[in-house]
Structure 1
Amino acid sequence: MTARHTLDRPALAPLWRAVHDRLSSGRPVATITLDGLGEDTREALADLLGLDRLPGTRTTLNLDRLDRALRESLDTDVRTVVQTIRGPLGNRTATREQANADRSALWQWLMTHPMVTAQPALADWTATVKANGLIGGSAATTRTVLTQALTVLAALPADGQPLPDFAANILGSAHALDDNTRLSGLVLRALAALHDTTPPASAAQRRALWAQAGIADDALSSTVLTAGLRPGGDGPVAACLRAYSTAGHATHLTLAQLRNPGELGWRNRTVHVFENPSIIALALRRFGAQCPPLVCTSGWPNSAVTLLLRQLAAAGAPLRYHGDFDGEGIRIAAHVIAATGAEPWRMSTTDYQGALPSHGDNPPVGRVTEAPWDPDLATALHQHEAAVHEEHTAATLMNALAHHVHTVAGQGSNDA
């Protein structure tokens, strides 16, 4: 093999290797230390530098002296020689600084992502992701995988699709969320954080958590409780809803009905959304056939709930959400708001403080995360350490609904 340079000789290989490594540090270099030198290398160094005696097996060379020797003998410099023999010089300092900047930018992007800021319960998840470090040691790879995970979370809860179908629709690959993949694990840990449960450790637990997120729900058993909905369409679902509302009854819509309802003709009247079925029962008792449009999430919304709320929002109906004042209730509210575009209704710090019981044993608030719509609410919950369940505010809610019904009647608006 032809040498690339007249000084590209085995005896000088330790020298060029050490010089290339030090100059690639990206820092100023004044000396080079060589250790464990054989006699042939020591002789070659003495010849190259014009020394009157051999250097020791461990020796420190002045880089300026080496540079002068090369200029005098070959009219070249040390950088040119070492790059010809060993290849381009690197800059480890700049590479390290860029890697640190990329890593900082990645975590800042994650912490401020709309999905994370909209649902502060994900803060623990993001902290765990950051603590686990970069995937494959790469900020770019990590961002790609996290982008996929956040895309999945934004699309949940699903409308009861099987997991492969959901993955194909959202990510373009039916196997993207297969069991035990890195991406699947990230999403499931995020869902566990949202639901305040431990990450699933078995296949059965993973299936159960996916089901809570609307994956592979039974289209007949996934239902949503409603009252007072009066769509104007001629389809069978619209006709049934009008009939039940006229009779002052609630009804459950199945996911299957919402997927294939016929003509609905949703109208754009405000729809109040509650967390607990007891509020729907109280509203029907008070308003009967005059009950305003109501939807119940029954805790965490399933596929049918989310699909109905999204249909209503798409038709222009304003959604107003109310739920429990405790840790779980705040997380559910944040989830509904992020998933459907609903607005919080009577869910402020002032509402909470006004509803606090003056005496008695108060139920615990549980794990509290930030409320995106009111930065003081989490602080108030921590301060009082008392939950206020939706049923406790029922009288206030019914009076507010009565005022709303009266206002709408005076305006002559149609029901949703």
Structure 2
Amino acid sequence: MTMPEKTRQYLADPAWADLWIRVRKRLETTGHKVAGTVTVDLDDDAAQRLSGLLGQRIVVGRRRLRLNELDEALRDSAARSGLVPVVAQLTGGPLRDRPSERLARGDTLQQLWDDVERALSGNGFGAAEWAQPWVQWLHQSTLLVRGGSRAVAEFDIAARALAVVLADRRTRRMLGELANTVGGTAHALDPDQLAGRIAVRGLGFALDTADPQTPRDRIELWEQVGVSVDRISGTVLTWGFRPPGNDPWSRMMQARADLGLISHLTLAELSVTPHELVPATTIVSGCENPQVLQRIAESGIDRPAVCFSGNPSSAGQLVAERVRLRYHGDFDWPGVAITGRLIAVGAEPWRMGAEDYLRAVSAGIPRIQLTGCPAATPWEPGLQQEMERVGQAVHEESVMDDLLGDLWDRT
């Protein structure tokens, strides 16, 4: 995928040159594995640009950078590509896959796929119609080829996990319990482990579902075969939610709203609640920063609001899908990227237009330089253009009075 020219020019600036060279070397050495770190020396320009891309303050000097964070930031930016294709475009062409090259020099690669077929047969999948598309995906993704000496063992863990859950879907299991059974450790099937990635994709082929793209998608896929994943750590903050039902949970939320309490809702809790979290005609106001929700609560505004605390958790995504949501976030590149993701699941923009941005900038707020890779604003393309032209970020806290005013107008 070719990057927009303006984005390519931004990333190709000489300030980045040493970083991309070091990243390329690391990726070629590990077979394009987006993991581990690189150490680089950053001057003022490089540190500032990197701060904008990652959405966090990076200081000048020798720094160790995580490749997975660079990868996620580039995917969320206007580049719309991961680390491997971006580095290839910026450093002169496709990256070498040195581990694969070493495998190709002998019989190791053929041995790998022979071992995969034996693992399939050994776990009862030799004749399964969905097994061959799974193996074809493994060929195309090169996950196993890049998996090194543990590749076959990781595939066998994934295959054994599928054998267990597909043979008995009625028994409830925790993912960690299943992982310990088939892999000897409770983390063997975690999403950042090779066996976990392979198992989830294999499960998708077995159940004839698409490759899960979000944490919530992965959770729901495992749950189709009776496997429970962590559903309590990711929360979403809510204020003034009064579900219209008369069930115990709805009455509890109504009482919390009457008491003026903010509620932390987990995915586990949301999965057993009535579908209507607020009356169907009610508009819920969403924000990015918890300080905004705190001010709403302290002001005594009796209108429902939700705070996603940055990128929405699985619980946050579920709330966004189940209410009529209008959303406001930061006017910086990570902030408008989050806005775009929530609009994609049905939210309406709330004071997130070009005029809103320009009004905030002209109000004399503290000047914060807009850094990082531009993010698209498809709900209003003029917003991206104005943000690039002005070059100033506007955080939610700076327009708090306007947001509170909107809420007061509706009370």
TM-score when scaled to structure 2?
A: 0.47
- Given the two structures, how large is their TM-score scaled by the length of structure 1? 0.47
Q: Which has the larger radius of gyration?
A: 1
